[in-house]
Amino acid sequence: MYRTNTCGELRLSHVGQAVTLAGWVQRTRKMGGMTFVDLRDRYGITQLVFDESRDAELTAQANKLGREYCIQAVGTVSERSNKNPNMPTGDIEIIVTGLTMLSTSDTPPFTIEDNTDGGDELRMKYRYLDLRRAAVRKNLELRHRMTILVRNFLDSRDFIEVETPILVGSTPEGARDFVVPSRMNPGQFYALPQSPQTLKQLLMVSGFDRYFQIAKCFRDEDLRADRQPEFTQIDCEMSFVHQDDVLEVFEDMARYLFKEVRGVELPAKLRQMTWAEAMRLYGSDKPDLRFGMTFVEVMDVMKKGKFSVFDDAAYIGGICAPGCASYTRKQLDQLTEFVKRPQVGAKGLVYVKYNEDGTVKSSVDKFYSEEDLLELKAAMGAKDGDLVLLLSGDNANKTRVQLCALRLEMGERLGLRDDNKFECLWIVDFPLFEWSDEEQRLMATHHPFTMPNPDDIPLLDEHPEQVRAVAYDFVCNGIEVGGGSLRIHDGALQEKMFKILGFTPERAMAQFGFLINAFKYGAPPHGGLAFGLDRFVSIMAGLDSIRDCIAFPKNNSGRDVMLDAPSELEPGQLEELNLKVTL
């Protein structure tokens, strides 16, 4: 080894010890005849001291060190006269007696500090330098720790990690597949898996009973903010289970992770909320429960034949923002602008201020009497000093989604979305299908293998849109961290699902024949779920973006700007693959 110790481990107890350290020059300071060098490695920073009066030549060498030079230093651990209580190694320094240059460094394109001066593109281009920053490195260390914890937890519960292949068959349902031309099978293509869904179901047919995999998944989607073309799932499946069995195991896992990683105790049993209730109270299938302001529907109260916008609405609902009656005109205008942004899409916003002095002021004063608004106050549970914000619209759930955006915005403004608070719950009873405006047909809300609620199976033929799925999402702080379902294990029911989803029997067979066939050989009841690892880590790390818990992420065009990938192939490669690019 080039070192006897790391730059994070030396303490007062090591004083007098001869040591060798290796690392990077964080900074150098010259003070009189002394030169101080902060030497950094993954484990910390240790101060090196060069004393001109003791060794002029060595100190001259030290004075030539630049930022990010990689060096090796030999010396003796010494107690600092001027201790730094902010550093674990702040009680000691190294009196250097020997210095070896391992590599010099050009001036880095941005500072290697927690608060760097590097912009996003530059940091990504030089990601290998960005990763030197402790703030980024800690996220990857946390990711490593979480995967170790997840694996050991699941192993202790008899789950087996099974690697499923990356080169699989194309199943162009749901998102687009990335495909891989096969040279050995000319004209044919593999696909990269969008998830190991069907393969893990086959493992259940195989009797594997309790499977997991920390698995790379791939989706060729137009990238919205914070999506990656490749991402990682904690993918799990169990046999012989009911919904509660699955929820229990993974609630335990979440409880274990939050405790180990963040020291946070989740409740002994997580709340379960139906999808319908979540939509009704929060306008979202991933409600943020760190704060209240649940929706109140006020159709009866506000439909009085006085205000045509409300009279014609299919939904009128609102939230009560505590203590916000003092909002200024400007603040209220900002909120109106906020809901009218295309991303939210509301036509307008009605506000009612219930002032501390008992007076009421609203944007609909000319339509409603004070009595009307006091009736609203009671319905909303508002107190003096509160602000009631109402939205309405001709599609109940679309309006609820707009109101959700407003609720989250108010939570943000009121500082109620605390990164260090974790509110987890299960959303259950999702609808099995959802209508696609784009495709003009019913689509599977999750995927075609989801088990319908047994009580609703009679509705499948006439009212499929009313059928609930045995599906569940794990939600934390308004983010969907995981989700899953019980699966169909009956071939006939699976064929019926394919039919409702518009598959011809031939197409279903061509794409999912292996699964339909497998179900002929004693398929067990099974179900499972998958957590988004990138998302889970970023919540634990308090990150806004998943990018900083991924070592080498891609940008919004799906490019790795460091590797400069993707790129054009050499003509010979295309020829070997029997392909021609047609631009």
What are the distances in angstroms from CA 537 to CA 1, 47, 257? 33, 32, 10
Q: Which of 2, 98, 292, 502 binds its own copies (CB under 8 A)?
A: 2
Three-class secondary structure of residue 69 per DSSP: coil
Q: Which of 15, 166, 299, 414 binds its own copies (CB under 8 A)?
A: 166
Strands (DSSP E) contained in 112-198 are 160-161, 179-181, 189-191
Q: Which of 79, 114, 120, 163 binds its own copies (CB under 8 A)?
A: 163
Any idea which residue has 């073309």 for tokens? Answer: 229
Binding pattern to its own copies, positions 517-556, x when CB under 8 A?
-xxxxxxxx------------------------xxx-x--
Distance CA 252, CA 257 (A): 9
Kindly determine how many residues on this chain lie close enough to bind its own copies according to the rule CB under 8 A: 125
What are the distances in angstroms from CA 36 to CA 43, 62, 101, 553? 19, 9, 16, 36
Nearer of residues 42 and 269 to its own copies, judged by Cβ: 42
Q: Which long-range contacts (C-beta less than 8 Å, at least 24 apart) are formed by 221-230? A: 221/175, 221/176, 223/554, 223/556, 223/557, 223/558, 225/545, 225/556, 226/545, 226/546, 226/547, 228/534, 228/546, 228/547, 228/550, 228/553, 228/554, 229/178, 229/554, 229/558, 230/554
190 part of the interface to its own copies, by CB under 8 A = yes
Nearer of residues 30 and 144 to its own copies, judged by Cβ: 144
**Least spacing, CB of residue 5 vs its own copies, in Å:** 11
**Least spacing, CB of residue 517 vs its own copies, in Å:** 8
Q: Which of 114, 245, 337, 356 binds its own copies (CB under 8 A)?
A: 245
Element (H, E) at 135: helix 134-156
566 part of the interface to its own copies, by CB under 8 A = yes
Query: For 206-306, where are the alpha helices, taking DSSP H only?
Result: 243-257, 275-282, 299-302
Asked if residues 150 and 142 have their Cβ atoms less than 8 Å apart, the reply is no
Q: Which two tokens stand for residue 475?
A: 């939600």
502 part of the interface to its own copies, by CB under 8 A = no
240 part of the interface to its own copies, by CB under 8 A = yes
Any idea which residue has 């045995």 for tokens? Answer: 470
Nearer of residues 151 and 413 to its own copies, judged by Cβ: 151
Nearer of residues 435 and 514 to its own copies, judged by Cβ: 514
191 part of the interface to its own copies, by CB under 8 A = yes
Q: Which of 37, 92, 96, 199 binds its own copies (CB under 8 A)?
A: 199
4 part of the interface to its own copies, by CB under 8 A = no
482 DSSP assignment? E
Region binding its own copies by CB under 8 A among candidate stretches 116-124, 179-187, 394-402, 413-421 = 179-187
Nearer of residues 110 and 338 to its own copies, judged by Cβ: 110
Asked if residues 426 and 483 have their Cβ atoms less than 8 Å apart, the reply is no
Q: Which two tokens stand for residue 25?
A: 């020059």
Q: For residues 475-494, which are near its own copies according to CB under 8 A?
A: 489-490
Q: Which long-range contacts (C-beta less than 8 Å, at least 24 apart) are formed by 335-338? A: 335/389, 335/406, 335/409, 335/410, 338/405, 338/406, 338/409
Q: Of the candidates 82, 89, 88, 105, which has an alpha carbon nearest to the alpha carbon of residue 19?
A: 89
178 DSSP assignment? P
281 part of the interface to its own copies, by CB under 8 A = no
Region binding its own copies by CB under 8 A among candidate stretches 50-58, 63-71, 85-93, 360-368 = 63-71
* Residues linked to residue 214 through DSSP beta bridges, in sequence order: 234
Any idea which residue has 């893990």 for tokens? Answer: 200
Nearer of residues 461 and 521 to its own copies, judged by Cβ: 521
Q: For residues 213-232, which are near its own copies according to CB under 8 A?
A: 216, 218, 220, 222-223, 229-230, 232
363 part of the interface to its own copies, by CB under 8 A = no
The identity of residue 293, as a single letter, is M
Q: Which of 42, 269, 421, 441 binds its own copies (CB under 8 A)?
A: 42
Any idea which residue has 């000093």 for tokens? Answer: 385
439 part of the interface to its own copies, by CB under 8 A = no
Q: Which of 59, 89, 116, 164 binds its own copies (CB under 8 A)?
A: 164
**Least spacing, CB of residue 153 vs its own copies, in Å:** 11
Q: Which of 33, 119, 165, 454 binds its own copies (CB under 8 A)?
A: 165
148 part of the interface to its own copies, by CB under 8 A = yes
181 part of the interface to its own copies, by CB under 8 A = yes
Binding pattern to its own copies, positions 99-138, x when CB under 8 A?
---xxxxx-x-----------------xxxx-xx----x-
Which residues are CB-contacts of 551 (< 8 A; sequence separation ≥ 6)? 127, 131, 140
Distance CA 111, CA 114 (A): 9
559 part of the interface to its own copies, by CB under 8 A = yes
Region binding its own copies by CB under 8 A among candidate stretches 98-106, 251-259, 361-369, 405-413 = 98-106
